[in-house]
Amino acid sequence: MNLTTPTIILTIFFSLTLSIIQPASKHNLNNIKYTLMLMFMISMIPLNTLLNNNHELTMSLLPLIMTPTENINITITLDTLSLIFIPMALLITWSITEFAIWYMSPDPHINKFIKYLVTFLITMTIIITANNMYQLFIGWEGVGIMSFLLIGWWNARSNANTAALQAIIYNRIGDIGLIITTTWLMTFSSMNTQELLIQYETVSIIPTAGLMAAAIGKSAQFSLHPWLPAAMEGPTPVSALLHSSTMVMAGVFLLIRLHPILHNSHLMKMTCLILGATTTLFAAAAAITQHDIKKIIALSTTSQLGLMMTMLGLNQPTLAFLHMTVHSFYKALLFLCSGSFIHALNNEQDLRMMGNLMKTMPMTSSFTIIASLSLMGAPFLSGFYSKDTIIETMTSSYINLWALTITLIATTLSASYSMQIILLILTGPSHTNLYCHKEAKNTIYPLMRLTLASIFIGSMTKLSTLQTTSMTTMPKMLKLTALVMTLLGVVLSKDLMHTPLRSQKLQTINLFFNQLAFFNIPHRALTMNTLKSSQQTSTELMDLWALENYGPKGLSKTLTQLVLLSTQQKNMIKNYMTTFTFTLLISMVLLPV
């Protein structure tokens, strides 16, 4: 790998930075779009080099801060992960930006919005190329701040403000883990990635647990997941970027990048496996009970992130990265298609209110079907290559029958809600008045690019020199398990559509999974109990204590003390007489007359 690659990567960085520094204007928006397009095309050059020889390159500037223990400098690493992720992120951001220019055109601050999207991409690129923990942390926090600003874009809506706060608070919990890891590495190891990964033989629970906490928060794994469906209050282009190539990918990417640290920690790998499998199933179950199209797709992302965590638990970071890359395209496509439908239906997001859009919006409908089929893992679309390989890997592993079973059930459920989206949006009677916008170039071109990627990226990866396919021999039925479970899910979705929830038990299960997505324990139960106990402490307990000590009782006690000081006479005549009598008797007995 020669000097061409670092030059190209630096060009991309500086061009993106310049595009957001330029003064805002309507003409400038198209400049940003064309800059992203050009940067995507340039970023394909190092990818081509990577296919021929899989080298890694590190580029460092002179130290910015010099300390007695180590020098802090800007260091960029260009390896398989970063050189594949950058073109992918640029293609998706280019498509989303083009879509957003049309979708957000009535917004008075559209220039700022587009610049926020590009800044979001820059912060994610910093994470991808960071070669030390300081740099990674800057990108990590940058992604968090940008998600806060973009989710709360429509800040006049209280729900959007709440969702933005939720995102930043949940991520702050995860950030504590990253800060702990960084502090530990600063003390006992090195902040530089290469030096850090050399020492992976020594297993320590503190950095590995910190990395896990960071990934759970950022990638919305079970227990810190409620911010992700809530983040759907932001504009649709934000949801598309957030779920495909930025924010939620950062947590899993961190674990993939620093996987050698987890490599020998069996406890952490087991935690990854259990957590990933649980997240996959619960998110898929919760998605079936939702009716808001964007929330279903958001929970689908959580489910797919759970699959990536499962692969990390099985010691397969490359496979997790493959699924991350492939998943990004069809997830961005699903969000943009849903945005197009929502716009056409006057901001209606309820699936039950949609219907018969196949005839009115044929192109978007076709793209939705392709994206949903790819998400299901339909053969020879992109999703099939990663999902099928994941299930085969789990089948040939010897430690995870439980995880395999859960993943297969989740596969069925994901096929079910994907099919439900297709059936409810595109078929059946129409329930709302259409605001028919023509499917213009601004909407169709970005969707078409993502559709082509959703179809071909999987097979292109399969044919590329990056993948060394292992010869796997297994029974035919076992090989077809994933496909059978997907078909079962499709059949199930058709049945679910025509099954009214009359049984009390069914309604309870439905409500349980519906609420599980938003997790009432931290949002309602804990907060209400905390508020009630605080109120009781401040109003009742504090007042009672103050009155006991400083009110009438306290005053009476001080008066009693003063009485005792002024006289020894306590008006206890019986006691005095008894004592006098006993003393007299004792003296008469003991003393001789």
Nearest to 181 by CA among 123, 254, 248: 254
**SS3 for 366?**
helix
* Cα(459)–Cα(524) distance, integer angstroms: 46
The stretches of 396-503 forming alpha helices (DSSP H) are: 401-426, 441-463, 476-479, 481-497
- pLDDT computed for residue 561 by the predictor: 56
Q: Is 105 exposed, middle or buried (0-12, 13-18, 19+ CB in 10 A)?
A: exposed
- Residue 69 structure tokens: 């223990």
Please check whether residue 361 is in contact with residue 125, taking contact to mean a CB–CB distance below 8 angstroms.
Answer: no
- pLDDT computed for residue 564 by the predictor: 57
- pLDDT computed for residue 471 by the predictor: 58
- pLDDT computed for residue 364 by the predictor: 92
234: left (phi over 0), alpha (psi -120 to 50) or beta: beta
Q: Domain coordinates of the chain in residue numbers?
A: 506-550, 562-592
Regions of the chain short of the pLDDT cut 50: none
- pLDDT computed for residue 499 by the predictor: 67
Contacting residues for 300 by C-beta, under 8 A, at least 6 apart: 283, 284, 287, 331, 334, 375, 414, 417, 418
Nearest to 376 by CA among 496, 294, 278, 489: 489
Backbone angles phi, psi at 62, to 5 degrees: -65, 150
Q: Rounded to the nearest 5 degrees, what angle is found at the Cα of 420, between the Cα atoms of 419 and 422?
A: 65
Amino acid at position 351, single letter: L
Q: Is 366 exposed, middle or buried (0-12, 13-18, 19+ CB in 10 A)?
A: middle
* Cα(240)–Cα(232) distance, integer angstroms: 10
* Cα(372)–Cα(367) distance, integer angstroms: 9
pLDDT in tens, 30-50: 889 999 999 999 999 888 877
| This prediction's pTM | 0.87
* Cα(82)–Cα(165) distance, integer angstroms: 30
* Cα(592)–Cα(421) distance, integer angstroms: 114
